[in-house]
Chain A
Amino acid sequence: MARVQAAAIALSVAGIAVSIYLTALHYAGVTPACVTSGSINCEAVLSSSYAVIAGSSVPTSALGIVWFAVSAAVWTRPAGWTQVAWSAMGLVTVLYLVFIEVVRLNAICLWCTVAHILVVALLLIAVTARER
């Protein structure tokens, strides 16, 4: 397996871990350990109506588990358009969630940001590896 694939799988596994953490806290009704300073406020984000999939009680972070799991699976194959397309889908979702944080809630959740950065990193790896 190429080093680039191994790196992408490692990032995907890290994303799964973060998403599982946020999902478990949601069901436990606990706010994650997170700095609260001005607009940095995990509680404001994770207790908002946007923290669950519209019309359900399923936390948005559960979608993160699925996305990163599929990402880990697609990266078991050599880099190609599949990885680029999947990462681009992830980026669209990330941009929507960042829009909610910045514009609707005026609050940033650091744990969510970690997951967002992982998605962007996976996209960059996919684009770079596809170019080779």
Chain B
Amino acid sequence: MSARRAAVRKPARKPVRGTPRWVLPAAVLAGIGLVVAAFFLYRWYVTPQQPRHASPDATQVVITQITSIPTSEFETVGQGTANNLLKPVSGAPLTGATGKPQVLYIGAEYCPYCAAQRWALIIALSRFGTFSGLHTTTSSSSDVFPNTPTFTFHGATYTSDYVDFRAVEESDRDQKPLETPSASDQEVYGKYGTGSIPFIDFGNRYVLNAAMYLPDLLGGQSWQPIADELRDPSTAQAKAIVGSANLLTAAICKMTSDRPASVCSTPGIQALEKKLG
């Protein structure tokens, strides 16, 4: 009986073939690829367009606005959110063409960090003298922090009773050569630079080799809205840019032996000078 039952038993089912071993890792890899692709898509979607260049009249309005920030606002902001990246150096005092202590700037129009730092440098230097011939531009469209709105020192002049200012914009926003540093500029840069830009030397007393805030603070904005935000000490832009300008002002005051007193003797600048050492 049991032998008969055994004879009619159905043959065992062949085991079902499992999912191939490569499927799960491939699915994980595909998932990661999709997520990263989504990041790039989102980046493309949120990348700021290059703002339309301001007309000469509109540029002048912006420059007048940012170079006439009241002392009370400088005092309110203090260092703000700016990173104090000024490094003290010791060397023979750097003087300019008229024999005054010199601020030397080496940068490039394509460079987003230079774009960010120029706002603060223009504000700081305007407390000691007057710029003319500044034009609006943006950093490169294909570099990090694309299309950061700024100004160029190329073609601009600066006059002051206290300091000389020399600016070298090595390349335009398309990275084509624009201006060449002199032999003495290169000597200073070789001695105190770190190989990157922006490089700013304050009379061989302090050097700055970076931006004091991240350029994405300005991304997607035009010049006039930024200038408007700078008039309100509570905005993120004012805290970063006016804060940076205060640090630069303190460094310049160190070069000029605290002249003019109207700028250098304020409690805020005196406090920052102590911080610089």
Contact = CB atoms under 8 A, between A and B. Distances in A.
Interface of A: 31, 38-39, 41, 43-44, 47-49, 91, 95, 98-99, 102-107, 120, 123-124, 127-128, 131-132
A43 B36 contact: no
Q: Which of A49, A102, A132: most chain B Cβ within 10 A?
A: A102
Nearest to B37: A102
Contact of A38 (B25, B28, B142, B196): B142
B39 A44 contact: no
A103 B21 contact: no
B21 A49 contact: no
B144 interface: yes
Contacts of A95: 32, 35-36
A35 to B, nearest CB: 14
Contacts of B35: 95
B216 interface: yes
A106 B43 contact: yes
A113 B145 CA distance: 20
Contacts of A102: 36, 39-40, 42-43
B144 A99 contact: no
Contacts of A31: 195-196
Interface string B193-229: 0011000000000000010001010000000000000
B47 A106 contact: yes
A44 B144 contact: yes
Contacts of B149: none
Contacts of B187: none
Given A43-B196, A106-B145, A107-B144, A98 B36 contact: yes
Contacts, number: 54
Given A39-B144, A123-B28, A127-B28, 20 more contacts: A31-B196, A38-B142, A38-B143, A39-B143, A41-B144, A47-B210, A98-B39, A99-B39, A102-B42, A102-B43, A103-B39, A103-B46, A104-B216, A106-B43, A106-B47, A106-B146, A107-B144, A124-B29, A128-B24, A131-B24
A95 B146 CA distance: 23
Contacts of B146: 106
A103 B25 contact: no
B32 to A, nearest CB: 6
A124 B27 CA distance: 10
B217 to A, nearest CB: 11
A99 B39 CA distance: 6
A91 B42 CA distance: 20
A98 B35 CA distance: 10
Contacts of A124: 25, 28-29
Given A47-B210, A106-B145, A106-B146, A127 B25 contact: yes
Nearest to A94: B32
Q: Which 7 A-B pairs have the closest CB atoms?
A: A102-B39, A107-B144, A44-B144, A124-B25, A106-B144, A103-B43, A128-B25
